[in-house]
Amino acid sequence: MKKKPTLGIYGFTGCAGCQLSLLDCEDELVDLFSAADIKVFYEAMSNNDDDALVDIALVEGSINTNKQLHELKEIREKAKVLVAFGSCANHGCVQAMALGDGKWEQRFKQVYGDTKFTVAIPREAQPIHKFVKVDAFIPGCPPSKIQMLRAITQLLFGNKPTYTNSPVCLECKFRENECLLNDGKLCLGPLTMGGCTAPCPTHNTPCIGCWGIIEEANHIAELKLLKEKGFKIEDIIRRFRMFGGSEIVEKIEKLMEVAK
């Protein structure tokens, strides 16, 4: 019989909701555990084999300490394929909303004062691709069951996972919602990676972009549109940054220029 692929599921800083969502796939768990030889999954098992070499590493969470950074690099060395699993690993998520503003140390001091850290020296939250080569990603905050299982299946078959490269608007229209932008709401649907099935706009709540920025996102056009609709630039940028992580940092200068 063919040897099962080995899988490690690792977590850094985040809510651990991505791993929990995987555990929530109750009907498929037996199939998953049968299809893969799981070496590490702290959220679900004891006897984790930290030293194991794995075919696939799913890495959840952002990197917030030097210790995590060290561990991430070790995982990279042990894994054939490293997958950023969920928003924190992909782009930093909410803990990276002020990334690159130069005020991290000031904020840190405000919260922790002069506390000395000895084991895990804190650092500004960053997505994992800032430190190691990432071979594939699974978007989501947390990833949806369908998309997550689809991606893991593709990985176990040795393929690169495909993802929904269409914005939230596609599934929002599938569900026949009126466009919240037309309703004067600050909705980030067009900028945000789909696959979530648009639950928020379906409940009349604008998209806040939690799955991360889609490749084709046209932030400049959205900024101009929202400005025309009377939103304040600070509010728009703050919303862009909320889940924009490292990707919005690259766009921010241009956006501020346009905003003027």
Partner 1 sequence: MRVLKLSKKDEKKLYDVLNKFGEVWAPVPKGSRYVYDKIEKKEDLVSYNEFVRTILPIKKFLMPQDFNILNLSPSKFETPKVDIPTRVIVGVPPCEIHALNILDKFYTTDFVDNYYMERREKVIIIGKSSLPDEYLFSHKTNTSIVEEGYDLFFIDLGDYYLVWVGSEKGDDIVRLGSDIFSEDVPVDVAHDFVAYREKRRKAFTKHIDLEGVTDLMELMYDADFWDEFGEKCLSCGQCTMVCPTCTCFNVIDELELNKDEGHRRRYWDSCMFKDYSLVAGQHNFRESRAERLKLWYTHKLKAFIGHFGSPSCVGCGRCIITCPVEINVETVVEKLKG
Instruction: Please report which residue ranges of the chain form alpha helices under DSSP H.
Output: 17-23, 26-35, 66-78, 87-91, 104-112, 145-156, 168-174, 199-202, 219-228, 233-242, 245-259
User: Is 44 a binder of partner 1 (CB under 8 A)?
Assistant: no
φ, ψ (nearest 5 deg) of residue 192: -110, 140
Residue of 38, 99, 134, 169 that binds partner 1 (CB under 8 A):
169
257 binds partner 1 (CB under 8 A): no
Stretch that binds partner 1, among 94-102, 125-133, 156-164, 238-246 (CB under 8 A): 156-164
Buried b (16+ CB within 10 A) or exposed e, 101-127: eeeeeeeeeeeeeeeeeeeeebebbbb
Of 121 and 146, CB closest to partner 1: 146
Q: Which is nearer to partner 1, 145 or 238 (CB)?
A: 145
Q: Which of 15, 35, 52, 233 binds partner 1 (CB under 8 A)?
A: 35
What is the spatial distance between Cα 48 and Cα 21, in angstroms, rounded to a whole number? 20
Q: By CB under 8 A, tell whether 77 contacts partner 1.
A: no
Query: Could you say whether residue 28 binds partner 1 (CB under 8 A)?
Result: yes
Q: What are the residues whose beta carbons fall under 8 Å from the beta carbon of 126, sequence distance 6 or more? A: 62, 63, 92, 96, 99, 246
Segment near partner 1 (CB under 8 A); pick from 37-45, 52-60, 77-85, 175-183? 175-183
Residues that bind partner 1 (CB under 8 A): 28, 31-32, 34-35, 149-150, 152-154, 156-157, 162, 165-167, 169-170, 173-174, 176-179, 181-183, 189-191, 215-218, 220-222, 224-225
